[in-house]
């Protein structure tokens, strides 16, 4: 599991509305910061204050944050917006990373993909790893990790496919019964892609808690806030049985239930009334001729 | 406001949360009762409300509001409510000098790229008063509805940018709330609406989705409401909660019940 978590290159965190991925992104950022890496964050979707919430002060001081949330399109014209818009901000991040292990977090790639041409974004991502390698940090593949948060409902197969082809790892978030899971597809050079599923939760201090397998209980827990409604209250008919009624019901033999007693009764012609008789009283107009019962018909 | 809906959402006007984006969504039914609920809820909570009303007239919302116990006329006169009546002011756009900015200026421009004038209107309407003492609790932006902006020619990204800036100003800077209605046409080919709906869903703290019944119309059950609580940035020990209830809209209230538990069928 640890080898899967040693993520390098472009890592796509694909989340959905029901299974959000920002907390996993923050957990991976914390892990990188604790490992001594530089961490650069491009924040587009939430405020810096909201993003930094949950990190303790030692980690917060290691994070280099580029705020594209407050005024991404320079509407305020205060001069505080990052120059060059979203693409300029992305390129500026490339130039400011020092040699050595670096983790770059993009919150979110979806935000960038909606506002930038897909090709320009892909080129910027490729340029990022190339520039980092040129800066003498060692082999490019081992030094730079780009974590991109991607909301999978927002994009069509074209842009998703383009980003997938650039990515070394794709983590798709889903879950069941309140437990989140990550399906991790790793592509390593000259090796077959590997697919692994991890069940995890992110704790309030943003550390990752990995579970071995899917949750044992498949029943969802009843929500403690919902009052338990008794469906049998306020009815105009009775759904409950008393003890006597229940015993009588249980001892009843159903007419088509075949039991050994019934089999014996059928096989043995019993003394009970086996034949039935029909009693007929002819009235005055009946003309009964026993030899020709149909004599009264004019055929 | 509907007290039963407050119970389901576990909130009251006194305990309204701040800094939240609530997304209202309707599919195969009319979700406007949710707009009326939040309008009266936030007026009763003593919040300053900016209502961008693009669908109905002021008198319509006022009549419904009176049934729910609020007077929009009084709220507007005392400055608690800033009401942008889209149907009326859209006509003004064409009779004003072009140099004067108007929130619905995009109607006049052939290639309107963004909704910055509308954002500036909202920012100005919800500006904190400078008299030292806050008259109102927190600012609230209510939009009915965002899908019509797509119909009027704006792109989904332009509408998302408008909400982005409103979030930055209203939710983050001024610790207020935003409530917006988006229709879900159910048409997978309507890419713009799907981008808008999904994009806003990812930013929302609360999603209320009113759906028509899968089996068709019913006299006693008007639809089904799915409630999804989200925490877009913080991990939770309990996964985001989701509840589903069915409802019936009456003259002055809406009653909610568990699925299949309508009093009419019991």
- Residue A265 has a pLDDT of 73
Strand-strand pairing, A9-15 and A169-176: parallel
- Residue A219 has a pLDDT of 45
Angle value at C-alpha A258, between A254 and A263, nearest 5 degrees: 130
If we measure between CA atoms, which residue out of B137, B131, B126 comes closest to residue B173? B126
Would the CB atoms of B266 and A53 count as touching at under 8 Å?
A: no
Partners of B206 on chain A (C-beta within 8 Å) are: none
Mark B241-256 as b/e (b = at least 16 C-beta within 10 Å): eebebbbbeeeebbbb
Give the one of A17, A53, A201 whose C-beta lies nearest to B201's C-beta.
A17
Neighbours of B234 (CB within 10 A): 15
Strand-strand pairing, A169-176 and A179-186: antiparallel
**Mind listing the pLDDT tens digit for each residue in A188-209?**
878 888 888 888 888 888 888 8
* Torsion (CA) B239, B240, B241, B242 in degrees, nearest 10: -120
Give the one of A18, A154, A226 whose C-beta lies nearest to B199's C-beta.
A154
Q: Is B188 on the interface with A (CB under 8 A)?
A: no
Find the range with the poorest average confidence among A59-63, A176-180, B173-177.
A176-180
With bands split at pLDDT 50, 70 and 90, how would you rate the model's confidence at A218? Answer: very low
- Sign of the Cα torsion A71, A74, A80, A82 reads positive
CA distance A241 to A176: 38
With bands split at pLDDT 50, 70 and 90, how would you rate the model's confidence at A221? Answer: very low
Would the CB atoms of B203 and A179 count as touching at under 8 Å?
A: no
Give the one of B114, B202, B233 whose C-beta lies nearest to A50's C-beta.
B233
Across A24-41, average pLDDT: 91
Going along chain B from its start, the domains and CATH numbers come out as 29-231 (3.40.50)
With bands split at pLDDT 50, 70 and 90, how would you rate the model's confidence at A64? Answer: very high
**Which homologous superfamily does the CATH classification assign to the domain defined by A2-169?**
P-loop containing nucleotide triphosphate hydrolases (3.40.50.300)
3 state DSSP class of B121: helix
**Mind listing the pLDDT tens digit for each residue in A42-62?**
999 999 999 999 899 999 999
Across A229-251, average pLDDT: 79
pTM of this prediction?
0.81
Q: What is the least distance, in Å, from the CA of B229 to any CA of chain A? A: 9
A-B C-beta contacts closer than 8 Å: 95
Q: Which stretches of chain A sit within 8 Å of chain B by CB? A: 17-18, 20, 22-23, 26-27, 45-47, 49-51, 53-54, 69-73, 75, 110, 114-115, 151, 153-154, 156, 175, 178-180, 201-204, 206, 223, 225-226, 229, 231, 234-235
CA distance B196 to B182: 8
């Amino acid at each position: 599991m640890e080898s899967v978590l040693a993520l390098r290159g472009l890592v796509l965190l694909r989340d959905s509305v029901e299974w959000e991925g920002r907390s996993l992104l923050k957990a991976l950022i914390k892990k990188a910061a604790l490992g001594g890496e530089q961490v650069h964050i491009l924040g587009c979707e939430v405020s810096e204050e909201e993003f930094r919430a949950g990190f303790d002060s030692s980690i917060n001081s290691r994070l280099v944050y580029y705020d594209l949330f407050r005024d991404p399109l320079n509407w305020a014209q205060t001069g505080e917006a990052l120059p060059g818009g979203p693409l300029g901000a992305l390129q500026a991040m490339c130039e400011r990373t020092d040699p050595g292990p670096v983790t770059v977090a993009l919150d979110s790639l979806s935000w960038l993909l909606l506002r930038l041409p897909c090709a320009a974004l892909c080129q910027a991502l490729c340029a990022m790893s190339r520039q980092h390698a040129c800066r003498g940090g060692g082999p490019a593949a081992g030094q730079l990790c780009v974590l991109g948060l991607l909301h999978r409902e927002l994009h069509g197969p074209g842009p998703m496919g383009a980003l997938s082809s650039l990515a070394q790892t794709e983590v798709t978030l889903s879950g069941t019964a309140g437990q989140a899971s990550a399906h991790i597809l790793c592509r390593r050079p000259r090796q077959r892609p590997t697919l692994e599923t991890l069940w995890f939760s992110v704790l309030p201090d943003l550390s990752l808690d990995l579970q071995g397998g899917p949750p044992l209980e498949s029943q969802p827990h009843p929500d403690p806030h919902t009052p338990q409604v008794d469906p049998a209250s306020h009815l105009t008919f009775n759904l409950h049985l008393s003890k006597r009624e229940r015993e009588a019901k249980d001892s009843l033999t159903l007419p088509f239930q075949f039991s050994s007693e019934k089999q014996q009764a059928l096989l043995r012609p019993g003394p009970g009334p086996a034949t039935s008789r029909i009693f007929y009283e002819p009235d005055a107009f009946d003309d009964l001729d026993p030899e020709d019962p149909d004599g009264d018909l004019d055929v | 406001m509907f007290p039963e809906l407050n119970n389901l959402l576990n909130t009251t006007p006194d305990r309204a949360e701040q800094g939240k984006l609530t997304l209202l969504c309707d599919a195969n039914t009319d979700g406007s009762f949710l707009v009326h609920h939040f309008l009266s809820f936030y007026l009763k909570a003593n919040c300053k409300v900016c209502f961008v009303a693009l669908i109905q007239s002021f008198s319509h919302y006022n009549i419904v509001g009176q049934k729910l116990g609020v007077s929009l006329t009084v709220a507007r006169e005392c400055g608690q409510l800033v009401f942008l009546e889209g149907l009326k002011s859209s006509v003004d756009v064409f009779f004003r000098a072009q140099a004067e900015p108007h929130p619905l200026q995009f109607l006049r421009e052939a290639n309107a790229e963004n909704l910055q004038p509308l954002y500036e209107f909202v920012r100005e309407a919800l500006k904190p008063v400078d008299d030292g003492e806050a008259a109102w609790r927190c600012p609230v932006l209510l939009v009915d509805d965002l899908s019509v902006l797509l119909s009027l020619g704006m792109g989904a990204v332009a509408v998302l940018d408008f909400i982005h800036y409103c979030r930055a100003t209203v939710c983050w800077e001024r610790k207020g709330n935003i409530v917006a209605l988006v229709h879900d046409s159910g048409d997978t080919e309507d890419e713009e609406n799907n981008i808008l709906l999904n994009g806003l869903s990812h930013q929302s703290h609360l999603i209320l989705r009113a759906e028509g019944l899968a089996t068709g119309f019913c006299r006693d059950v008007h639809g089904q409401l799915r409630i999804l609580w989200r925490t877009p940035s913080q991990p939770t020990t309990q996964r985001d909660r989701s509840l589903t209830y069915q409802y019936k809209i009456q003259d002055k209230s809406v009653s909610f019940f568990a699925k299949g538990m309508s009093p009419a069928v019991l």
